[in-house]
Every structure is written in structure tokens, then in C-alpha cells.
């Protein structure tokens, strides 16, 4: 049977499903590096979640940070996460997070941002610029009268903490290796644009400042007060759409870009120029959201893939970009038959695990491809492929087959409605109008444990002019899809 073209790919739903209605939800693509592989592109299951820690009274976990084998998180309180599964609450911050918290470090202490205020946690005892000694384990607030206003974001570069000030184009620099002291001489205004700073990120020993319309880079020139000045020629006529949508990933910076002409695109930095990595399809989706300004990003690496994950809280959507394939897919949380955004907004790799923070509770989850559900809830995986058409003529489809690795059912068998063991199952349906409406769903067996010779197919699937196949599954097994095939006949000829 001929393959279904493009069955294994990412999400690409355009303004009109008549043109393209592709979706990949909780499935990502992998291109085998061997030319002899069974398929040149496959679909694999995204990781599941398991509760690792639960922070009492917290309503979200917007920031996680690890340093020298120690793990911390900042919500309404400042916590340390221990490898034995316990936690330490060091005390309150500046209330429930109204925007994401941040944690950064230097050699001796952590700097924590919470709702515009700064705090210090001491890792190793140190003496500050005012000759005050702070013992290890101390936790205290920074004197905010040193600042021109509440802090928007913080960064760290070359021994200095950087703080941007809310509703301004001003940033302040701490004393060297001292997050407690912010000298009044270390204040600078971005002269390259008059707009307020929207986002900042420190990367490759440079600071990237973005307004809503423009971006400029600074470096440490030891220029006096403050030591950071613009890099000659490092300027871009494009800004940032989301303060916390900026992330370091794949040895560069990725962010949601915009300018005075409007629109939202995803870009990475290359030689002080934005390189577009979003697609017309993702951009169409994002521009339909009520806002993207509250987007929150994190990146992580698993199984050789570097993912940039973006949560859009107001829109209740979650997108992921895979740097290995340059393809986008969607992730969600499936509960009581309804889909909502994926339950992660922050990340750290510590204790040999990926730990992610929940945007809707005080839970911290272990995230892994070896976890096959979301803390007891099924993960609904879905692939909707491009349509099959032949000049809008009737096409008959006697058979469709999905090339799935079968026989991977759990050791403790799945049970049917009568309590009897059953094989893992997937569901197929199809549209004959280019994805606008779909018909009945059909359940297909995917082989019990050890039944490796089975095939997953459906016969007698009717006719259509614009056939779109929709595949989904919720059973907790490793879903690995090499492709799909179909018999398609038009005017008596196989196409």
C-alpha cells in the first residue's frame, strides 16, 4: 500500500482547514539519523508527569532553579527541594505571584524576584559592600529604596546582577558579586529606544534588551558607572511580545517577537538578527489569542531533542518547538474528556530528573518519556494528517493501516468494561470535507504484551473528495508510529 503523505509531521493548521488542517498533539517527530531506518520520520509520545513534590498553600510554581546540586523554587514562598522528597519553606516572598518569579545566583547567594521586590538567600557566608556579614542560610529582603521603582526582570552577567525597572526603559546594576547593594551610580537608560523595556535576557556574556518594537545588545566594557554599554551595530528593528516568553535554548536565545507593524512570530538570535522559526500556522493560532503578553517559556533536552515550550495562560494553550526537526507540536492536559493547557510552566534538571512546576497548583512533577500518564490522568495523543485528494474527484478508500509498534501493552493488562484483559487501543475517524467535519470513530487493537506481529488497520472506509485521517489514543503505552498506508482508488486506478 502507498504511504499516506505527511502522516508523520507536526501541527500545521492554517486559517482554512481546506488548505491544511494538520495537528500533532502530545506527539513529536523524530528523524532517524540512519538512512537505513524503517522510516525517515516518525511520531513519538511526549513525556508524562508524576507528582514529585507538593508545596502546601501554593497556587502555582512559576520558577525553579538548581545550583551545585541544590534545588529551589519561588512562589508565594521561597522553598528548597530536597532529593529525599521533602521540602524546606524558608519564608514568604511578596505574595502570590502576579507575574513569574525569578531566581539567579552568584558564587555566594541567590537573588529572588517576587512581584517587583528582591530577596536574598545566602548559599555561602559573605560580607557585602557595606561590610555586613551574612551567614549561610540567611534569607532576607533587599532594600528596595535603592531602586527607581519595582523590578520587572533580573539577570546575571560577569559578576553583576541586572534589574530592569517596570514601566521604564531603565536598568540598574548591582555592586560586583553583591545582590544586596545597588549603587545609585549604576543606573542606565536605554538610549537606543524611548519605549519601556519589555524583556531582558543575559546570554553569551551579553544583555539583550527589548522594547515592544526594538532590540539592542549591551556588553561589559568596564566603562565605569555602569560598566555596560551598547554593542556597536547590535540593534534590531524588532521587539518582544512577552516579558517571560524569552528563553535560552539550543545555544541561542528564542523569543516571541513583534514590531510596530503588528503580528507575533517566534524567532531565534543569529548575529544580532532574528531568525524566524514559527510558521504561518502557529502565527495564525497565536494571533487569535486574547493576549500573548503573559506567555511563559522554558526549554529542556530529552532523548537528544531540545524543546522550547511556551505556555499561553490566558488562551489556555501550550506549544512546543523541537530544534532537532524544526517542527512544532501542541501539548495539553486531558481531564474528564476536556482539553486544557499542559500542566507545566517552569523547569529544572536536578537529581537526575526533569522537574516542572504546575501553573495551577503547588505541585512539582517529574517529567519523563518513561511516564505514560499525567499524574493518573490519561494523555490524549492525536495526529490529524494532510488531506488526500485528486483534483476533487471521488476517491475510494478500501483500507487504511497505521504502522505502529504493537505488543507494548503494560505488564498489568488493561481491562475492558467487563473487567477482562484487553489490548491497547487507538481510535481512527476521518473527514471527507478537508477537516471541517468528522464522522464516526472506530477502535483498533494494538496488540497485547508480546503480540509483536499484529497489524492496525480499518477496511471499508468509504469514499471522499478531500479525505483527512484523524488518529488518537489515550492508553498508557509508549506510542511509536512509523507512518500510515492506504489503498486509494480514483476512476478505477490506484493513486
Cα separation, 20 vs 434, whole angstroms: 8
114: its cell numbers: 517576587
Q: How many CB atoms lie within 10 A of CB 170?
A: 19
| Contacts for 49 with CB less than 8 Å, ≥ 6 apart | 343, 344, 356, 365, 366, 367, 371, 373, 374, 375
What's the CA angle centered on 252, arms 246 and 254, to 5 degrees? 30
Give me the pLDDT at residue 449, please.
Answer: 92
Ranges of the chain with pLDDT below 70: none
Strand order in 363-368's β-sheet? 48-54, 363-368, 353-357, 346-350
Instruction: Answer yes or no: are the C-beta atoms of 207 and 213 closer than 8 Å.
Output: no
What digits encode the pLDDT tens for the residues 21-46? Answer: 999 999 999 999 999 999 999 999 99
Closest to 489 (Cα-Cα) out of 471, 469, 458, 467: 467
C-alpha cell at 28: 513529536
Q: Nearest CA to 66 among 340, 357, 339, 297?
A: 357
pLDDT at position 444 is 97
Please report the pLDDT score of residue 492 as a whole number: 87
Hey, which residues does 119 pair with through a beta bridge? 112, 141
Round to the nearest angstrom and report the end-to-end CA distance of the chain: 10
* Rounded distance between C-alpha atoms, residue 256 and residue 276, angstroms: 10
Q: Can you read off the three cell numbers belonging to residue 369? A: 518519556
Specify the pLDDT at position 385. Answer: 96
Q: Give yes or no for a contact between 73 and 57, defined as CB atoms under 8 angstroms apart.
A: no
pLDDT score, position 346: 98
The Cα 298–Cα 291 span in angstroms is 19
DSSP string, 365-381: EEEETT--SBTTBPP-E
In a 3-state reduction of DSSP, which class is residue 234?
strand
Kindly report whether the peptide bond that precedes residue 226 is cis, defined as omega within 30 degrees of 0: yes
Report the distance separating Cα 313 and Cα 289, nearest Å.
10
Q: What is the pTM of this model?
A: 0.96
Three-state DSSP at 419 gives coil
Task: At 347, list the grid cell.
Answer: 523547569
Amino acid at each position: 500500500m502507498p504511504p499516506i503523505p505527511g502522516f508523520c509531521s507536526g501541527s500545521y493548521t492554517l486559517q482554512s482547514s481546506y488548505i491544511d488542517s494538520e495537528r500533532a498533539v502530545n506527539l513529536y517527530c523524530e528523524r532517524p539519523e540512519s538512512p537505513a531506518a524503517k522510516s525517515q520520520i516518525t511520531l513519538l509520545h511526549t513525556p508524562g508527569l508524576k507528582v514529585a513534590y507538593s508545596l502546601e498553600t501554593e497556587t502555582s510554581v512559576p520558577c525553579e532553579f538548581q545550583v551545585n546540586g541544590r534545588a529551589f523554587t519561588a512562589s508565594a514562598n521561597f522553598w528548597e527541594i530536597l532529593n529525599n522528597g521533602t521540602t524546606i519553606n524558608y519564608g514568604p516572598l511578596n505574595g502570590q505571584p502576579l507575574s513569574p518569579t525569578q531566581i539567579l545566583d552568584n558564587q555566594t547567594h541567590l537573588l529572588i524576584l517576587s512581584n517587583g521586590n528582591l530577596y536574598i538567600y545566602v548559599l555561602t557566608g559573605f560580607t557585602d559592600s557595606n561590610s555586613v556579614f551574612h551567614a549561610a542560610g540567611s534569607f532576607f529582603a533587599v532594600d528596595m529604596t535603592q531602586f527607581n521603582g519595582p523590578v520587572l526582570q533580573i539577570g546575571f552577567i560577569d559578576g553583576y546582577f541586572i534589574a530592569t525597572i517596570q514601566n521604564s526603559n531603565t536598568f540598574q546594576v548591582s555592586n560586583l558579586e553583591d545582590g544586596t547593594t545597588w549603587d545609585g551610580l549604576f543606573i542606565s537608560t536605554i538610549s537606543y529606544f524611548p519605549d519601556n523595556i519589555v524583556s531582558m535576557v543575559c546570554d553569551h556574556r551579553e544583555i539583550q534588551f527589548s522594547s515592544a518594537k526594538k532590540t539592542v545588545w549591551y556588553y561589559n566594557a568596564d566603562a565605569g558607572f555602569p560598566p555596560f554599554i551598547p554593542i556597536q551595530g547590535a540593534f534590531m528593528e524588532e521587539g518582544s511580545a512577552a516579558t517571560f516568553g524569552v528563553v535560552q535554548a539550543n545555544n541561542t536565545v528564542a523569543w516571541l517577537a513583534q514590531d510596530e507593524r503588528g503580528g507575533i512570530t517566534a524567532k531565534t538570535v543569529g548575529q544580532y538578527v532574528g531568525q524566524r522559526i514559527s510558521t504561518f500556522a502557529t502565527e495564525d493560532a497565536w494571533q487569535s489569542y486574547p493576549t500573548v503578553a503573559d506567555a511563559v517559556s522554558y526549554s529542556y533536552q530529552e532523548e537528544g531533542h531540545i524543546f522550547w515550550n511556551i505556555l499561553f495562560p490566558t488562551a489556555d494553550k501550550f506549544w512546543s518547538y523541537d530544534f532537532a526537526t524544526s517542527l512544532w507540536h501542541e501539548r495539553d492536559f486531558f481531564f474528564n474528556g476536556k482539553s486544557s493547557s499542559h500542566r507545566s510552566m517552569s523547569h529544572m534538571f536536578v537529581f537526575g530528573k526533569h522537574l516542572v512546576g504546575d501553573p495551577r497548583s503547588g505541585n512539582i512533577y517529574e517529567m519523563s518519556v518513561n511516564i505514560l500518564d499525567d499524574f493518573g490522568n490519561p494523555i490524549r495523543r492525536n495526529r490529524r494528517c494532510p488531506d488526500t485528494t485528486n483534483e476533487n474527484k471521488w476517491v475510494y478508500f478500501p483500507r487504511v493501516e497505521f504502522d505502529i509498534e504493537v505488543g507494548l501493552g503494560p505488564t498489568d493488562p488493561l481491562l475492558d468494561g467487563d473487567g477482562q484483559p484487553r489490548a491497547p487501543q487507538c481510535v481512527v475517524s476521518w473527514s471527507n470535507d478537508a477537516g471541517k467535519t468528522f464522522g464516526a470513530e472506530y477502535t483498533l487493537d494494538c496488540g497485547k504484551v508480546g503480540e509483536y506481529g499484529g497489524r492496525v488497520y480499518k477496511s471499508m472506509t468509504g469514499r471522499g473528495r478531500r479525505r483527512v485521517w484523524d488518529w488518537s489514543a489515550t492508553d498508557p503505552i509508549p506510542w511509536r508510529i512509523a507512518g500510515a498506508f492506504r489503498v486509494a482508488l480514483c476512476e478505477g486506478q490506484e493513486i
